[in-house]
Structures are given as structure tokens and as C-alpha cells.
Structure 1
């Protein structure tokens, strides 16, 4: 009985420690694996040095986007950078240097020069019209503004026409003559647009509706510039928009007054 009990305890002990055999085998295999990997991973010194030297050359010669950039590592040749230095005429020590390497702006094309000249003319035109309005106390009748499309000159219908009519008043000739003298030297298109309020034309009017009235008023201004001031018709265009482009509330008297107008716009464009 004792021998059997002792044998059972020994068998239990042997069964409990068997996992260590598997663990030892695993550790041995891992050791062999890393030894093989280490043996296969020999470093090629020549290739490593070649790649390192190439990267260093690239970083040193690379130009920086910052002012006075001398490469990404700050050790590149300052005279071989692509972007020009922020200031010319002095080196890093404050001494004067030659302008041989200084970048010069590319010359402007003829069209760019023409646009620049036109902007100067438009600015001068606006200043002269503003001064004319001030001198003649016409602030409540004429308004001038600088818009993206050009210099816009808005004339009230009371200044140009009688109610429901498209014939120019005699008093408007002085102002239109002044504008004509300024338009003659411009190399651009002058657009003339007629606008009305939303109130329908009267039954006694010779115009069918506000479309005809607004177009006729714009045409009357155009006729003055062409027939009276003898300006070239090639520099003008006109249109009537009735009440489709209001600038005020048509439900109020003040808004309807603002909507009844003629807009003369000196466009920002060159003639072909």
C-alpha cells in the first residue's frame, strides 16, 4: 500500500513539471532564431556611408523658404539658394555687396502696363467728378462710387428727366458735357443703364411699360454723348432694366426715388 501511494505522488509530480520541458524548448528555439537573424543581418558599411553622405549633401544644399535661408541645416552655400535674399546691397556682416546676384523683377507686359495706366485714369476720373459734384452742390442728385466693375456715376431721374418722360432736361446738359470731356480720352467702355421704380407707367404715357421707359432714358443719355458731344459710339453700350435692379425699397417714397436713376459706369476693361 505504501509503495502504491508513493508511486502515485511521484507520477503527480512528473505530470505537474512537464510544462517546463515545453517552455525550455520554446526558449531554445527563440535563441536559435535570434542567432540566425543576427548572423544574416550584416551591415554594409559602404552602402551606409554612401546614403549618409548623399542625405547630408541634400540637406545642406536645400534652400529655405525663410528670409536669408541657408539650407535646411543652416550650413548651405548662401550664394546658391534659389529664393533671393530679403535685402540686397549688404552681406551678413553689414558690408556692401554687389547686386550681381540680386533678383530683378520681370518686366511688365504691354497689357499689364495698359491696365495700370487705366487704373490711374479711373482714379483721376473719380477725383475730378467728386470735386465737380462738390463745387456745384449736386450731392443729392449725383453720386459716384468705385465698384469692382468700374467707376459708377449715378444720376437721379429728377436731375435728368421730367416724370414719365425720357427727354433730357436743359439743366442736365452742363453736367453731361463735363462727363463727356472726361470720357473722350478713356480707352475703355462706358455702360449706360436706365432704371425705374415698380410703379407702372401712366395710361397717357407713350411708353408701353417701364422696360421701354428705362431703355429710352438710357438711350437719351447715350445720344447726347454721341450726337452732341461727338464721342465715338464704339466706346459705349446701353440697356434698360425697368424695376428689376432696385437699390431701395419700392414700398417707400424714398426707396422709389432711389430706384429711378441712370447709372453711367466706366468699366474696368480694355478695348481690343
Structure 2
């Protein structure tokens, strides 16, 4: 009996150590078991995607059918923003504004045909229309000749020319034409006025001559009462040169004096007053009746 107890005591510690080792091994195995499941899952996914890739194939014929169907649908439908019927043809069916593609083609052809017919049936211009066209050509040539004359003779500071809606305007400075406070033409201006007269002789229109002054009152030594008389007398002197010396038709002329009522610059400065003292000759855009 005592021997059995001694053997039991000797085997007890050994058994306990073995059971501890078994528990540690079993716990270690339990902690690493999830890796087996994870590895199996990854392997299965890899096999799944390989099989899907091997089975996939693009059906070119079906792709072309779908593509052409979508293209024809969007081309045949009109815009909803313009009160059209939309892609399905059901929207705004009672407020249809956009013509169908066939109607558009028909309208385009009709427009082209109308354009051809209108060109073929275009009425010839009347005599008055032809006269206006001829006058525009004359005015264009007149402006070119005057600009060339001014440049060739270095008169840019004395004469200005402009194409205005009412006609070709030729502005001459009073220093080029007159002495201060006088209305008699200077002898040096005769050459230029004669050149203008030669250009005016071929025109069938009205030529307006306007005299302008600055706002300074007339001096006591002048024979003119005020700027009204001075501006009118200066315009009349230019008119007399054209009809008396150059023998132009008086019916093609008119003249007026405006004193200082139509300034082109500030009368408070010397330079502005100098610009305002002028004679304007305008070849009007109108035909003689």
C-alpha cells in the first residue's frame, strides 16, 4: 500500500506537466486555425476570378446593335428644352415646335430654291437707284482726291476732310482763307478753291457752304456788326468764288452763317477758338430733282 502511494506521488507531477504541455499545444493550434480558413477563402476567390475571366467574351455583334440603336434614338428625338417631343416622342406632343428631320431637309431645299428663284427674278435697279450708286462712287473718289491733294501740298493743318452721313465735309481754317475780322479771301487760297471747283463741276448734287466763328465779340474797327454777319459774309465770299470766278452752276449751292452757335472745340482756349473759326464745305448726299 505504501508502495502504491509512493508511485502515485511520483507519477502525479509528471502527469500534471504532460497535461500542461497538451493544453499549451492545443491553445496554440486554436489560435492559428483561422489562417487555414483565410487561405482557403483566398484560393477560392482566385479560382473564381480565373474562371470568370476564362468564360468572358465580348459579343461584337450585340455591341454594334445596341450602339446603332442608341444613335438612331438620340438623332430622331428633338429637344425637350425647345418644347420638342423628347427621345420617346411622348413629351409635349401638343406643343411640338421642332420640325422633323425630313421637314428640315425639305425646308432647307425650299429655302435654297427660293434663293435661286429670287436671284433669277431679281428686279433691275431703277434709274434713281443707279443714280445714287453712281453718286456714292463719285463721293468716294472725291474724298480720295482731296486727301491726296492735302497731303501733296502739306495742308493738313489748314484743311480737313471727313466722310459724314450727310456727305463729304471739307473744313477750311479761317487763317487759310481770311485775315482776322475780315471776309475777303486771301490770294493764297485761290489755288485750293480752284482745285475744289474743278472737282465739284462733275457732281450732280448740292454743295453747302457754312461760315462759323468763335465766341469773341467783333472789334469796333470791323465793318461787321457781329459774328452773324461775319460768318455769313465769309461763306458768301467762298460761294462767290465758285459761281463768279469758276462759273459753277448756282443751283448746286447753298450757304449759311452760324456765328458761334455750332462750335467744334472749347471757346475758352486759343486753340479751341482757332478750330471754331472755319468754313465748312459739304458735298451733300442727295440728288438734284
Kindly state the Cα deviation for residue 105 of structure 1 after the two structures are TM-superposed: 2.3
Aligned to 2:270: 253
Q: 1:191 touches 1:266 (CA, 8 Å); kept in 2?
A: yes
1:42-57, aligned counterparts within 5 Å?
none
Partner of 2:242: 225
Structure 1 residue 73: deviation in Å?
2.5
1:73 to 103, 115, 120: 103
Matched, 1:236 2:266: no
Closer, same or farther: CA 76–145 of 1 in aligned 2, 3 Å? closer
Give the TM-score normalised by the residue count of structure 1.
Answer: 0.66
Q: TM-score, normalised by structure 2?
A: 0.62
Q: Is 1:159 aligned with 2:176? A: yes
5+ residue gaps, structure 1, are 1-58, 89-99
Out of 152, 156, 169, the position equivalent to 2:186 is 169
SS at match of 1:73: helix
Structure 1 CA distance, aligned partners of 2:234 and 2:139?
Answer: 25
CA distance in 1, matches of 2:281, 2:239: 10
69-78 or 184-193: which moved more? 69-78
Which one of 222, 226, 229 corresponds to residue 205 of structure 1? Answer: 222
Does the CA-based 8 Å contact 1:84-1:102 persist in structure 2? no
Residues 76-128 of structure 1 show CA distances to partners (whole Å, capped at 9, x for unaligned) of 4877x3x444886xxxxxxxxxxx89644221111111000000000000000
CA contact (8 A) 1:70 1:76 kept: no
Q: Which has the larger radius of gyration?
A: 2
Residue 191 (structure 1) aligned with residue 208 (structure 2)? yes
Distance 1:247 1:142 in 2: 15
Cα separation, 1, equivalents of 2:205 and 2:168? 11
Distance of 1:251 and 1:74 partners within structure 2: 66
CA–CA distance in structure 2, aligned partners of residues 248 and 181 of structure 1: 31
Aligned ranges 1:1-272 → 2 under 5 Å: 73-74=103-104, 76=106, 81=110, 83-85=111-113, 103-272=120-289
1:192 CA drift (Å): 0.1
What CA deviation, in whole Å up to 9, does each residue of 1:13-63 have, x standing for no partner?
Answer: xxxxxxxxxxxxxxxxxxxxxxxxxxxxxxxxxxxxxxxxxxxxxx9xxxx
- Superposed structure 1 runs of 4+ greater than 3 Å apart: 69-72, 74-79, 83-88, 100-104
Higher mean displacement: 101-110 or 227-236: 101-110
Higher helix share: 2
Contact 1:194-1:261 at 8 Å conserved across structures: yes
Offset at 1:74? 3.5
CA contact (8 A) 1:84 1:103 kept: no
C-alpha distance in 1 between matches for 2:281 and 2:100 = 55
Q: CA RMSD in A?
A: 2.5
